[in-house]
Amino acid sequence: MTLRQLPVLDVPRPAVSARPPTAAPASLTEFVTDDLALPRFHVWTLGCQMNKSDSEEMAGALLAAGCAEAASLESAELIVINTCAIREAAEHKVIGRMGALSRLKAGNPALRVVMTGCSVRADNAAALGRRYPAVDLFLRPDEEPELVARLGLASPTGPGSLGRGAPSYQRVGRSLAATAERLPADRAAAVGEGRVARSSLTHAWIPIIYGCDKTCTYCIVPFSRGPERSRPFDDIVEEARALARAGYQDVTLLGQNVNSYGHDLPPEPRFADVRGKRTLGRRLDLDGKPDIAALLRAIDSIGTADGERAIPRLRFITSHPWDLTDPLIAAMAECASVCEHLHLPVQAGDDAVLRRMGRQYTVESYLALVERLRAAIPGISLTTDVIVGFCGETDAHFERTLDLLRTVRYDQVFAAAFSPRPVTPAARLPDDVPLAEKKRRLQALLELQEEIGLERNREWMGRSTEVLVDEVRPQRSHEHDGETRSPAKPGQLRLAGRNRENKLVHLDGAQELVGARVRVRVEHAGPYALVGSLTA
Ligand code: SAM
Ligand code: SF4
Ligand code: F3S
């Protein structure tokens, strides 16, 4: 058997020879086929859920082509790096591995490295080879479905062998971005042919809209992923139905801005009750077009034979405050499967900073939205993203962000220091908050949020909550927040899962509980997690 040599791609490299074939004993030669062993692959995924979902599709395509998954990057013959470019640090993680990858390649000349994800853009194609010298093939996010074909692994008749048509490009700011034009159809084909290697048996992602039409001045995503392209409504509902049939209990609809789902789809009579015009930013006429509220209602209505919700937990991420409409809040409140949790990035607590960020809302309008959400969905847990040290952010501006955290009392905050990104409008503004000051503000914010998170979690003490158990944890993982728990009883394991409010909950129980929804009484609360016991 010979290892199938992958082609040398895109970046010219010295010719290398395949691994020598192993000679078969003469007595067995009639049984030896000329099959070539396909490379074992490893996908290294950085970044957000969108990337994790894309990686499931790439892994599924490679498995469908006959490749096996390698246990580690070091034991793979094909490494796929799915990159994130949101901050410089995410890109440095990959740049920092180039030396190790080059050494692996020196030891195994058959090894091929593919890089994809948000670091690969239409505007930086020329520089990539220099920046990432160990990489053989660069694929933009819109080219990911071509992975198998571009590696020469597609069978003449199988998936991945068909032409996808030429990519299209659109101007975003001063730059050119590839559009996600072909991704909705590629996704439908991958789902239809069972080519999505889902990483969990309980949770699943469904991408519903690709790209981003917003113009947040700090953000690279519109340049990496191009303008918004929604998937057809029925394709999404069909994918949800298939997940329900397969027993998935927690489904998350994905997009950079899921709330603007559908604005680019044609109107249809069945969506006649969807009405709206967006007047902020790019003006949109939404009358008669599918929207996320209709999507939530359609997925919520998928039932089991005994009249239960076929998918008991439905989530969506990420929501931009612009497009969080009252019909969407109503759908969240009325659909029993929609979880009582919303991630609603605020980014900053000062209007001048928000304006410079291009966020198109004020602190006042954001707080009004939070009030409407809390009135419609009592007990909803809210999480957010914050950037500290954005261009021109003064101490007083930053203090107003802390005030906002005190007012909203988020359940969790994902905060990061501003990192200027190439081609974004903010890259042309002075990055005038010194690094030490960014770090100080980040630390101050995290300390405040730790107090708030602890207070919020203590409100759960003594309450019963539904937990979808999804992992077995090592014994030590309960010994957090200064609390040391007694060891699990014989036959019991340290388990963890999430409640509908997306709180991490630790409990002890039997292995069989993994994948089950159980009732847990909360007995201990830390800033980042709850601990409880199974109730009858
Ligand atoms: N679409 C989401 C929204 O509307 O806020 C955000 C998605 S973005 C992939 C995730 C988070 O990364 C953002 O909410 C922001 O806080 C952070 N982020 C984006 N660009 C950044 C930058 N240049 N520096 C630091 N953080 C950044
Ligand atoms: Fe980036 Fe803004 Fe789009 Fe979110 S909405 S992905 S922060 S440009
Ligand atoms: Fe990163 Fe791209 Fe997601 S930049 S956060 S992987 S959309």
Q: Residue 164's pLDDT band (boundaries 50, 70, 90)?
A: confident
318 upstream amide cis, omega within 30 of 0: yes
In the chain the first and final C-alpha atoms are separated, in Å, by 57
405 lies in the same domain as 262? yes
Residue 85, ligand 3, Cβ within 6 A: yes
Q: How many domains is the chain built from?
A: 3
> CA torsion, points 365, 370, 375, 378, in degrees to nearest 10?
180
Q: What is the pLDDT of residue 160?
A: 57
Question: What confidence tens digit (pLDDT) does each residue in 356-395 have?
Answer: 999 999 999 999 999 999 999 999 999 999 999 999 999 9
Residue 94, ligand 3, Cβ within 6 A: no
186 lies in the same domain as 236? yes
Instruction: From 401, 432, 458, give the residue that closes a domain.
Output: 458
Residue 22 lies in a domain: yes
For residue 257, which atom of ligand 2 is closest to its CA? 5
Residue 320, ligand 2, Cβ within 6 A: yes
Residue 47, ligand 3, Cβ within 6 A: yes
227 lies in the same domain as 118? no
139 lies in the same domain as 193? no
Residue 61 lies in a domain: yes
Give distance in angstroms: CA of 424 to centre of ligand 2. 11
In degrees, rounded to 5, the angle at the alpha carbon of residue 241 between the alpha carbons of residues 236 and 244 is 130
* Structure token digits, residue 202: 């309980």
Mean pLDDT of 255-259: 95
pLDDT at residue 136 greater than cutoff 70: yes
Q: Name 338's bridge partners.
A: 314
Q: What is the pLDDT of residue 162?
A: 56
CB-CB contact of 194 with 242 (8 Å):
no
Q: Which residues line ligand 1 (CB under 6 A)?
A: 48, 86-87, 218-219, 221, 256-257, 318, 320, 345, 347, 385, 387, 416, 418-419, 421
For residue 51, which atom of ligand 3 is closest to its CA? 6
* Structure token digits, residue 401: 């962000």
Q: What is the pLDDT of residue 485?
A: 73
Residue 274 lies in a domain: yes
Ligand nearest to the CA of 53: 3
Q: 4 or 111: which carries more pLDDT confidence?
A: 111
333 lies in the same domain as 243? yes
Q: What is the pLDDT of residue 29?
A: 41
Ligand nearest to the CA of 213: 2
Residue 169 lies in a domain: no
Please tell me the pTM assigned to this model: 0.92
Mean pLDDT of 12-25: 34
406 lies in the same domain as 481? no
Residue 309 lies in a domain: yes
Question: What confidence tens digit (pLDDT) does each residue in 222-236 have?
Answer: 999 999 999 999 999
Residue 53, ligand 2, Cβ within 6 A: no
Q: Residue 28's pLDDT band (boundaries 50, 70, 90)?
A: very low
Residue 216, ligand 2, Cβ within 6 A: yes
Residue 385 vs residues 19, 317, 344, 401: alpha-carbon distances, Å: 49, 12, 7, 11
Mean pLDDT of 303-330: 94
205 lies in the same domain as 190? yes
For residue 385, which atom of ligand 2 is closest to its CA? 7
27 lies in the same domain as 80? yes
Ligand nearest to the CA of 117: 3
Q: Residue 528's pLDDT band (boundaries 50, 70, 90)?
A: very high
CATH number of the domain that residue 58 is part of: 3.40.50.12160
Residue 299 lies in a domain: yes
Question: What confidence tens digit (pLDDT) does each residue in 441-467 have?
Answer: 999 999 999 999 999 999 999 999 999
Question: What confidence tens digit (pLDDT) does each residue in 70-91 have?
Answer: 999 999 999 999 999 999 999 9
Whole domain around residue 486: which residue ranges?
464-534
What share of the chain has pLDDT > 90, as a percent?
81
Instruction: From 415, 441, 458, give the residue that closes a domain.
Output: 458
Q: What is the pLDDT of residue 281?
A: 60
Q: Residue 282's pLDDT band (boundaries 50, 70, 90)?
A: low
Residue 101 lies in a domain: yes
Q: Name 278's bridge partners.
A: 284
CATH number of the domain that residue 384 is part of: 3.80.30.20
**Backbone φ, ψ for residue 251 (5° rounding):** -120, 135
Which of 205, 202, 165, 201 lies closest to 185 in space, CA to CA? 165
Question: What confidence tens digit (pLDDT) does each residue in 391-429 have?
Answer: 999 999 999 999 999 999 999 999 999 999 999 999 999
Give distance in angstroms: CA of 256 to centre of ligand 3. 9
141 lies in the same domain as 219? no
Residue 170 lies in a domain: no
pLDDT at residue 476 greater than cutoff 80: no
Instruction: From 164, 185, 210, give the residue that closes a domain.
Output: 164
- Which residues have C-beta within 8 Å of that of residue 12, sequence separation ≥ 6? none
301 lies in the same domain as 395? yes
Give distance in angstroms: CA of 126 to centre of ligand 2. 25
In degrees, rounded to 5, the angle at the alpha carbon of residue 460 between the alpha carbons of residues 403 and 386 is 30
Helices (H) and strands (E) in the chain, counts: 14, 23
436 lies in the same domain as 479? no
50 lies in the same domain as 84? yes
Residue 224, ligand 3, Cβ within 6 A: yes
Instruction: Classify residue 489 by its DSSP letter.
Output: P
